[in-house]
Amino acid sequence: MAAQAQYDNEMAGVLFPVKEKKSERGPDVTGTATINGVEYRIAGWRKATKSNGSPFYSLKFELAKPDDGEGKGGKGGPKVSAPDEPF
């Protein structure tokens, strides 16, 4: 079997329809994107312009939660190492 090709996902993302919304205000689509090596979660809502009803998506980007080593994901953004203290 041939090895799977490696893809460059930089500056790219994907959105999927939400099958069962948890609330009326919940997103219609969700997904992920990688920008400058940082993974983001994306949520999108289908909307329409007030002037003529043209459809569009309103998007929200959040830093994806990094893995905390236990497979549960952690809080906040990417892990950043503190500089070495001189003392």
Structural element, H or E, at residue 30: strand 29-35
pTM of the model: 0.67
Kindly list the distances between the CA atom of residue 85 and the CA atoms of 7, 78, 79, 80, in Å, as whole numbers in the listed order. 39, 21, 18, 15
pLDDT recorded at residue 65 = 82
pLDDT at residue 51, as a whole number: 97
pLDDT for the residue 40: 97
pLDDT tens per residue across all 87 residues of the chain: 566 677 788 999 999 999 999 999 999 999 999 999 999 999 999 999 999 999 999 999 999 987 655 444 444 444 444 445 443
Give the per-residue pLDDT at 57.
97
